[in-house]
Amino acid sequence: MHVVSASDQPPRSLLADDNRGRLEGWLAGQAGASRVTVTEDGRLGGGAISLNLAVTLDIDGGPLAGRHACVLRAEGGGRISASIGKLREFVVLRAAFAAGVAAPEPLFACDDPAVLGPDFYIMRRAEGLGAGHAITRSEAPQADLARELGRQLGRLHRVTPDTPGLDRLAEAPECPAQETLAQFRAWLGDLGRRDPVLAWGLRWMEVNAPLPGAVVLCHRDFRTGNYLVKDGALTAILDWEFAGFSDPMEDLGWFCARSWRFRRPDREAGGIADRADFYAGYEETSGRRVDPARVAYWETAAYLRWAAIAVEQGRRHTSGAEPSLELALTGRMLPEIEMDMLRHLRSIGGLSATSAVGSAIDKVA
Amino acid sequence: MRTNPDARGLLDIAAATFRTDVLPHVAPEARYAALMVANALEIAQRELTGLDASGHAMLAALALLYGEDAYDDLGGNDLRHRVEALQHRLCIEIAAGDFDHDGQDTLLDSLEAIVKARLAILNPKAAG
């Protein structure tokens, strides 16, 4: 993972002064240990929304005795609409880890403001390279990696709303497409009535909405840039802060969207390989077939979702709440995202309003 | 009252100096932030010089649907308001279902041309 020692944001002294002592005391109680020492190893990247701190825990006594390389993930200054909060994220991570997904093992979660202030949790630290541009640099396609990512997603999608321990999450939607559409309208607000590209995306989603099918635990930010790779092999899937129940094809559409192909827009599965490799891995473990028409629907949704998030990130800057060049530039990405959506809609041209609905009905019938 | 060089002139030379004299010497941990600064300066440069051209390109894109004149004489706020009004009208028609069955090809041509006009300022490479 990339350690960031300088940032455009003022460093937050999360573990300064008394905080470290309070954290160590709290951890000792949680771990049933006689003593816990926390060493700070630096701030980690990928913290546009959360604050990620690399820490080493030295635990004396108790079942977890020993040294553990970890990440402390705390609620950042400005949470955006799509994020679920640190305690829910912890619950999701636990469910995913239990389902055999290569998520970092979650260890401790805390919602007591007396410890550090914000909610936070601690998970094991995984090694590897995460940056999308680096992952997609490879000359040869990475079919094995794509297949493995498909398998991982398939395992995650075996987690249903009935799985114990997930009560903290928002209730499973009856119709994921309709619910998502309503959410996008709310997030985009007035912009959906001023920007004709967004208006067309929203209308397209409304007219083409597939009938409700399976609803499972989705990662909702499963993409290149959010997993770690070491020596060509997957080590961890990160960034679970948008997870929630939805149509399983939503995660596949998001993964394949042009926005996350980085250097290799020609490699439709996350810029690393063909869709066929990714889909094959998914079908191995998920117990269901990939429905390309639904994936195409959710890929349109992916562009609108990314557009809504980018707009909101930009507003965090322009509102004055969180002045940041990175947030400001993210807000400016809207036309690029829209161009990707239009290219996608062109490429599925045959999938006109009626045929998409028709194919959805075929699947259900 | 205007002092020379003006804002545009200052921005041009600041962006060029930053690229050639500062960026190569930035420490690795600050490189990401430095690249963002360079990017922001260049977007601002393109916006200062190209906003009206972009607005006219958007009007031409909307003319594919509405067949109106290109309003070559408009500029500044008048141009912006004209574009906004036509875009709002198009949003209403889209939401009302006017393009659900017919005219999707023309609509997509128009939408693509609108986005390209905005990309000319934001990221000309992505407009291609």
Token pair 């094991």 is found at A124
Contact A325 B33 (CB under 8 A): yes
Structural domains of chain A ordered from first start: 3-124 (3.30.200.20), 132-364 (3.90.1200.10)
What are the tens digits of pLDDT across the range A223-251?
999 999 999 899 999 999 899 999 999 99
d(CA A141, CA A271): 9
The predicted pLDDT at position A83 comes to 72
Contact B107 A200 (CB under 8 A): yes
Q: What percent of chain A has pLDDT over 70?
A: 89
What are the tens digits of pLDDT across the range A89-130?
999 999 999 999 999 999 999 999 899 988 999 999 999 999
Token pair 């051209």 is found at B53
What are the tens digits of pLDDT across the range B32-48?
999 999 999 999 999 99
Tell me the backbone φ, ψ of residue A120, rounded to 5 degrees.
Answer: -155, 165
Handedness of CA A57, A63, A65, A68 (dihedral sign): negative
Contact B95 A193 (CB under 8 A): yes
Domain map of chain B by residue range?
7-127
Of the partner residues A7, A195, A336, the one whose CB lies closest to the CB of residue B87: A195
Q: Averaged over A181-209, what is the pLDDT?
A: 95
**Minimal Cα–Cα distance from B51 to chain A, Å?**
15
Q: Give yes or no for A346 touching B (CB within 8 A).
A: yes
Q: Which residues pair with B52 in a beta bridge?
A: none
Residues of chain B contacting residue A202, judged by C-beta atoms under 8 Å apart: 95
Of the partner residues A203, A339, A345, the one whose CB lies closest to the CB of residue B95: A203
Contact B91 A329 (CB under 8 A): no
Of the partner residues B27, B33, B92, the one whose CB lies closest to the CB of residue A8: B33
Length of chain A, in residues: 365
**Prediction ipTM score:** 0.93
Contact A196 B94 (CB under 8 A): yes
Chain A segment 6-45 residues within 8 A of B by beta carbon are: 6-8
Q: For A68-99, b where at least 16 C-beta lie within 10 A, e where not — what string?
A: bebbbbbbbebbbebbbebbbbbbbbbbbbeb
Q: What percent of chain A has pLDDT over 90?
A: 76
The predicted pLDDT at position B69 comes to 62
Confidence of residue A49 (pLDDT cuts 50, 70, 90): low
Handedness of CA A319, A195, B84, A186 (dihedral sign): negative
Kindly tell me the burial class for residue B21, based on how many C-beta atoms sit within 10 Å of its own C-beta (0-12, 13-18, 19 or more): exposed
Angle, helices A143-156/A249-256, rounded to nearest 10 degrees: 150
Torsional class of A106: left (φ above 0), alpha (ψ -120 to 50), beta (otherwise): beta
Question: Under a CB-based contact definition with an 8 Å cutoff, are residues A197 and B114 in contact?
Answer: yes
Of the partner residues B39, B94, B110, the one whose CB lies closest to the CB of residue A199: B94
